[in-house]
Structure 1
Amino acid sequence: MHFAYPPRKSSNPPPYLRAAKLPGLRRSRLKVIAAAGFAFLVLIYLLTRPAGHGHYKSYVPTGNPPVVIVTAFDEMKYDKPYLDMIKDNRIQYAEKHGTGKCADLCLGYKTFFGKVGDYDLKGAPSSWTNVVAVRHALTEFPDCKFIWYLDQHAFIMNPELTIEEHVMKASKLEDLMIKDYPVVPPDSIIKTFSHLKGQDIDFVVTQDKDGMSANSYVIRNGDWARFFLETWFDPLYRSYNFQRAETHALEHIVQWHPTVLARLGLVPQRTLNTYSRGDKGVEYQEGDFTVIFNGCSSTKECDAEAQRYVERWRSEFKST
């Protein structure tokens, strides 16, 4: 029985065998061409898309108005004549710096008055109104340059001084800033940064004998300000039983959040936060920017403190 031999393989394969590889080559070339075309289209898109599209753009306020003075009033606890006297002080100071003396694009100072009871604090102490009033003021004046919070028990005493020049000017801050100093004296291991420059500062605050003071402070408007206020007003801090409520919460976040400490300028108390009595801090002297009626807790007590200064500030305002 004979078996057929299998066909011999030729050493010269027919042309169609070589042609069988061409479709694969075409596919690879097409992939390269397609990838190059896609890359070209992406490049065209990147070059022609609107500026800033797809990127976060920080908010830069126009600076109109330059300063908003914020005060939160407790109308349920203090009498109207006393509070009206405080409001009048703010309004007259703002008028000295342009409010009501120009058209719609006025670059004068503005005032914002918050009220205890206007905001839902979710059971937190009423003093937290101070913080939420500042947040509210930023929504009313989104293009302001600075927010100056000043306690309801205080007068502005020197109308010649301005926030821009006396407090927030970079060169002025260089001279004022207290560096490498405990945030909560005397024992806090967290200290103010020693390397900061005046242009780095977005939050200016003072200390008294009890620690950090929230009676009078200045915030530079911008993205950081909104972050800072949202952090400070966090529901967790409001629900925590801090002895001094929002002031101790402020001390907490300054010590535990380097992002806050890196924008903080600690300045001498006399800069914008002197007291009517010297038992808790620096006592007021002639020419100081402000006076705080520290220690008063009723209309009778606070009005008695205010009467020591009301004629003085009215006289100063009339003479300028």
Structure 2
Amino acid sequence: MHLAMPARKSSNPPPYATRSTRFPMLRRSRVQAIVLCACAVGAVLFILLQVLGGGSERIPSGTPSVVIVTVLDTESFKQDYINKIKENRIEYAKKHGYATFFPAATNYELNGSPPSWARVPAVRHALTKFPHSTYVWYLDQNSFIMNPDLSVEGHIMNPKRLESLMIKDHSIVPPDSVIKTFGHLKGNQVDLVLTQDKEGLAQGSFIIRKGDWSRFFLDTWFDPLYRSYNFQKADTHALEHIVQWHPTILSKLVLVPQRTMNAYSPKDAAGDGTYKDGDLVIRFAGCEKGGRDCAAEAEPFSKQWKTAFRTQ
């Protein structure tokens, strides 16, 4: 009986059949059409988002362009005087569509630092509270806004106007600091506007533009290290220090003539810094010292600003 033997496999088997990797023409056309349609839809959506404001920050309707911040010392001054200060800011803000913010100095933990430091976290607070506003104007308590016709944007922050006001190549700390203001800044590059008095930087009235730089600046100014230095003039000398040692801060700062937004009463000023009728602000910068009475010094100007506002 013969058993069938399995056929021997050839030592040269035929090559495996290969599968074509080419797309049929019809399939390839469909893929191309789908890709082109997807690109077209994406382009249309992008354009619509840009037109409707999706490509930039959307500012809610009614957002105030400026927030006026004044830190109030409710423990050392009578309520009647505090109310006059608030009324002054509120009336001016109503005229121009601005907002006001009146935190108390005691709202902020200063860890034993002088109360004047409260202005820094107060401005930082305002930037958070009014995230869509363009500017924060900090104005010390012992002062009045005197000219209701002058707006922050038109009188100071308009780029062309600001360029005409800038004090260029000027010593940060008078009379002969080697660190000077920049000479080539354009108005739209400025994020901090300050003035000087006869002693140095005067931070009782300043304007800051919202943004990453402003938050960096305020956080640097309020650094616990600087507050622990016990500078003779607290936050004033700390400000002068960081402006001179941090080019990033100096590069966004300009000085403007003192009377632009920080004129002093005759008791506190000298020369070009003395208040004159028509100026935006009068400040009673030293009235807290030497037994002076801030409310009494301010009273004649309280009547004057109310008369000016009523005639508008």
Indicate whether the TM-score tops 0.5.
yes
Separation in 2, partners of 1:147, 1:183: 22
CA contact (8 A) 1:61 1:221 kept: no
> What SS class does the counterpart of residue 293 from structure 2 fall into?
helix
Separation in 2, partners of 1:240, 1:61: 40
- What percent of counterpart residues are identical? 55
Question: 2:86: which partner in 1?
Answer: 87
Separation in 2, partners of 1:279, 1:92: 26
> What SS class does the counterpart of residue 184 from structure 1 fall into?
coil
CA contact (8 A) 1:64 1:145 kept: no
Question: 1:212: which partner in 2?
Answer: 201
Using the TM superposition, give the Cα deviation of residue 66 of structure 1 relative to its aligned residue in structure 2, in angstroms: 0.2
Separation in 1, partners of 2:159, 2:232: 34
Which segment drifts farther, 151-160 or 276-285?
276-285
Using the TM superposition, give the Cα deviation of residue 64 of structure 1 relative to its aligned residue in structure 2, in angstroms: 2.2
Separation in 2, partners of 1:237, 1:114: 23
Using the TM superposition, give the Cα deviation of residue 300 of structure 1 relative to its aligned residue in structure 2, in angstroms: 6.2
Using the TM superposition, give the Cα deviation of residue 61 of structure 1 relative to its aligned residue in structure 2, in angstroms: 6.4
CA RMSD of aligned residues (A): 2.3
Using the TM superposition, give the Cα deviation of residue 297 of structure 1 relative to its aligned residue in structure 2, in angstroms: 1.0
Question: 1:311: which partner in 2?
Answer: 303
1:276 aligns with 2:275: no
**Partner residue of 1:150 out of 131, 135, 139:** 139
Show structure 1 runs of 4+ deviating over 3 A.
57-63, 278-281
Separation in 2, partners of 1:132, 1:148: 14
**Gap regions ≥5 residues in structure 1:** 1-47, 52-56, 98-107
Q: Deviations over 1:264-293 (max 9, x none)?
A: 011000100001125534111010000001
Using the TM superposition, give the Cα deviation of residue 72 of structure 1 relative to its aligned residue in structure 2, in angstroms: 0.2
Q: Which amino acid aligns with 2:183?
A: S
Separation in 2, partners of 1:209, 1:300: 20
Separation in 2, partners of 1:279, 1:311: 20
Q: Which amino acid aligns with 2:243?
A: V
Q: Deviations over 1:118-177 (max 9, x none)?
A: 111112111111111111111110111100000000000000000011010000011000
Q: Deviations over 1:8-52 (max 9, x none)?
A: xxxxxxxxxxxxxxxxxxxxxxxxxxxxxxxxxxxxxxxx9x99x
CA contact (8 A) 1:167 1:173 kept: yes
Using the TM superposition, give the Cα deviation of residue 73 of structure 1 relative to its aligned residue in structure 2, in angstroms: 0.8
> What SS class does the counterpart of residue 142 from structure 1 fall into?
coil
Change (3 A) 1:280 1:243: farther
Change (3 A) 1:310 1:258: same
Q: Which amino acid aligns with 1:204?
A: V
> What SS class does the counterpart of residue 288 from structure 2 fall into?
coil
CA contact (8 A) 2:70 2:139 kept: yes
Separation in 1, partners of 2:208, 2:89: 18
> What SS class does the counterpart of residue 274 from structure 2 fall into?
coil
Q: How does 1:1-320 map to 2 (within 5 A)?
A: 64-97=63-96, 108-277=97-266, 279-281=268-270, 282-297=273-288, 301-320=293-312
Using the TM superposition, give the Cα deviation of residue 304 of structure 1 relative to its aligned residue in structure 2, in angstroms: 1.4
Question: 1:5: which partner in 2?
Answer: none
Using the TM superposition, give the Cα deviation of residue 318 of structure 1 relative to its aligned residue in structure 2, in angstroms: 0.5
Change (3 A) 1:178 1:300: closer
Change (3 A) 1:202 1:58: farther
Separation in 2, partners of 1:280, 1:58: 44
Question: 1:26: which partner in 2?
Answer: none
Separation in 1, partners of 2:210, 2:257: 22
> What SS class does the counterpart of residue 73 from structure 1 fall into?
coil
Using the TM superposition, give the Cα deviation of residue 183 of structure 1 relative to its aligned residue in structure 2, in angstroms: 0.5
Query: Number of matched residues?
Result: 260
> What SS class does the counterpart of residue 72 from structure 1 fall into?
coil
Q: TM-score, normalised by structure 2?
A: 0.79
CA contact (8 A) 1:114 1:129 kept: no
> What SS class does the counterpart of residue 85 from structure 1 fall into?
helix
CA contact (8 A) 2:268 2:284 kept: no
